């Protein structure tokens, strides 16, 4: 093939690759750089260049380690979309987070696909008391006779299969447990944990208020990313459990706020 022919093929390949990247981000809401590179069979350097080009056209937003759709501050991905993203990382995070739970503990667990995976890891424990507003978490623990599961009241938010609203918040008032295990849609050192929805944020705050310590479970696609409503400021987060693709500079900033880091190897 001549140099001229080779050059003529490159823009076509780049256009097809960028279209595939857009399709992946639209389908999943947030996609990591590594996942995009694997999906389009290109290097992370090439995909990073593609993301810059797509962002310059206003087609997506770049952030640490990946990309999201424009307007993502208020976008709430569905449970199905979130379940498809970073599944291996979530499993590793859940396994590591389970080491922070001891038999006899009383804990609260918030909604999310990572916390659902975390709940599955708790089935090896005994004598636990778990309070949750997540139907998925409750389902994961339902067959464990030695784990007492208390589900809050509230209105069902179908996108995340969790209970929200004043009844959910009232169910948590007056509780005191050892730790709260909470996920979210974004985590930065400046604003802490955040979510796109006001009702979800209000219940997350109530979950955190019931605990002596807050443990955040967040894969690398959430680290360095921000959404509309702050739930837990960084100073209130005692532990972060994440994976080894999380951007180091953001982790260092969080550590500077007093957050203890637990990094799962994937």
Using CB atoms within 10 Å of the CB of residue 219, give its burial: 0 to 12 exposed, 13 to 18 middle, 19+ buried.
buried
Spans of all domains in the chain: 3-68, 79-264
The predicted structure's pLDDT at residue 2: 41
pLDDT tens digits for 172-191?
Answer: 998 999 999 999 999 999 99
Write down how long the chain is: 266
pLDDT category at 1 given cuts 50, 70, 90 is very low
- The hierarchical CATH code for the domain 3-68 is 1.10.10.10
Strands 229-232 and 192-195: antiparallel
Beta bridge partners of 214: 180, 237
Q: DSSP letter at 211?
A: E
CATH code linked to domain 79-264: 3.40.50.1360
Instruction: Sheet with 229-232: list strands edge to edge.
Output: 186-188, 192-195, 229-232
């Amino acid at each position: 093939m001549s140099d001229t022919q080779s050059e003529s093929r490159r823009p076509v390949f780049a256009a097809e690759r960028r279209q595939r990247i857009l399709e992946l981000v639209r389908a999943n809401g947030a996609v990591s750089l590594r996942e995009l590179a694997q999906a389009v069979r290109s290097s992370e350097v090439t995909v990073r260049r593609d993301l810059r080009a797509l962002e310059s056209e206003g087609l997506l937003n770049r952030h640490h380690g990946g990309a999201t759709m424009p307007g993502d501050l208020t976008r709430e991905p569905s449970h199905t979309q979130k379940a498809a993203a970073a599944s291996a990382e979530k499993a590793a995070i859940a396994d590591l987070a389970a080491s922070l739970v001891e038999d006899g503990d009383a804990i609260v667990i918030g909604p999310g696909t990572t916390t659902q995976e975390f709940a599955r890891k708790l089935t090896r424990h005994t004598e636990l008391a778990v309070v949750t507003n997540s139907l998925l978490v409750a389902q994961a623990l339902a067959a464990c006779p030695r784990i007492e599961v208390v589900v809050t009241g509230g209105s069902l938010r179908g996108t995340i299969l969790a209970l929200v609203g004043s009844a959910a918040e009232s169910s948590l008032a007056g509780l005191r447990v050892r730790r709260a295990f909470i996920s979210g849609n974004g985590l930065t050192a400046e604003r802490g944990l955040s979510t796109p929805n006001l009702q979800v944020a209000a219940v997350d705050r109530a979950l955190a208020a019931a605990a002596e310590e807050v443990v955040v479970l967040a894969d690398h696609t959430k680290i360095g990313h921000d959404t509309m409503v702050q739930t837990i400021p960084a100073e209130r987060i005692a532990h972060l459990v994440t994976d080894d693709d999380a951007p180091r500079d953001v982790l260092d900033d969080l550590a500077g706020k007093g957050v203890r880091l637990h990094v799962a190897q994937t």
